[in-house]
Amino acid sequence: MAKRGNDVDGESEEHNVKCPGLVFILLNAVAAVAAAGSPGAGSPAASGASADSVLVLRGRTELPGYSGDFDHFAVDLQGNRLFLAAEDHGTLEVFDLRTGKHLRSVAGFETPHSIFPIRQTHRLLITDGSETIKLLDDGTLAPVGTIKLHPGADSIGFDGGTGHLYVVTGGKDVKLKESWLEEIDPVTTHKIGEVHLDADHVEAMAVEQHGPHLYINVTDKNYLAVIDKAARKIVAQWPIHGAAQNALAQLDETTRRLFIVARDPGRFIVLNSDTGAHIASLAAPKRVDAEIFDVANRRVYAPGGEGYIGVYAEVDAGHFAELAQVPSSVGAKTAILVPELHRLYVAVSPGEGKTGGAIIWFDVKAVPAS
């Protein structure tokens, strides 16, 4: 959630890369938390990462003439397409997934935020802050329908068990003092239900895929709401300590750990997803608009608009470390991981200037076998 090409697979050289060269900063004195409920305790080093073992910059595609912010990505792996919501430009941008080449720009949106491919019906769902969700034909990208919800549709979360999609609506961007978490069936386009939130600023969520709960950042109240998905009811409110503006959330269901990124100050915060107990708190970029959990490599990527990606290692359920600060570009704060390609794409928002935007991409290096 914002405010509110040139690549050849398998090659080692950069192509048309105009951002700073890739430099890894491995932190010798890593601040990690050694035990549950003990923020600020001991600091185990992350597993011996070397200068080129995390992310390697591969390419950049310039988008001249853009201003404002980009928001979230989505991937069409079979169709070899990468989608990007150009929030302040009011467009959907389409790229060749493997080469990064910009293919087309699709207009007709207010402030596009989130994109969700519906493979069963060959539709593309777009939230754009308006009173309806937009549906496009996923081939032609022509409009084919809408889903009416409360105004202000923005962040989304998917439950693979039920096939249902959760959508954040309402809030201060549409001049409302309340928000909702609305549940829809994206295939039938029917609304299933909603949860009312007494808050005007709600950000990203993490949805259990094998459990009963959903966790969502109630940002203006500085807590994480725990929602019973079946009952559509808030069952707990867990305060976020040590930072305000909690905005991003990812979940490791295996270790029962929640990864929260807050912006004031920038912190990477780990919670026990069963109790809400604080496990760890590490420095993070302040201007983060996306958080990625790399399940295969036990890492979290937090792209910051300051110009670097914070990379965090999940050593085990009780130990976390800042592994690297990877230079990107100023304004590079939303991202998507494509595990099938071992690639991380990052959108470079031009902000209020008129210098144009870009996408950049990195090869993700696997954790060496022990």
In this structure, what CATH number is given to the domain that contains residue 205? 2.130.10.10
pLDDT at 353: 62
- Consecutive 10-residue averages of pLDDT for the chain (370 residues): 38 34 33 34 40 85 93 97 96 98 97 98 98 97 98 98 98 97 98 98 98 98 98 98 98 97 98 98 96 96 96 90 94 97 97 81 87
Q: Which domain holds residue 182?
A: 70-291
Give the global pTM: 0.88
Is residue 47 domain-resident?
no
Residue 369 confidence (pLDDT): 72
pLDDT of residue 316: 83
What pLDDT does 318 receive? 87
Contact between 169 and 154 under an 8 Å Cβ cutoff? The reply is: yes
In a domain, 3, yes or no: no
> Does the residue 168 lie in any domain?
yes
Does the residue 150 lie in any domain?
yes
Domain assignment present for 258: yes
Domains in the chain, number? 1
352 found inside a domain: no
pLDDT digits (tens, 9 = 90+) for 291-310: 999 999 999 999 999 999 99
137: in domain: yes
* Residue 368: per-residue pLDDT: 78
In a domain, 32, yes or no: no
Q: Kindly report the number of other CB atoms within 10 A of residue 211's CB atom.
A: 14
pLDDT value, residue 354: 63
pLDDT of 4: 41
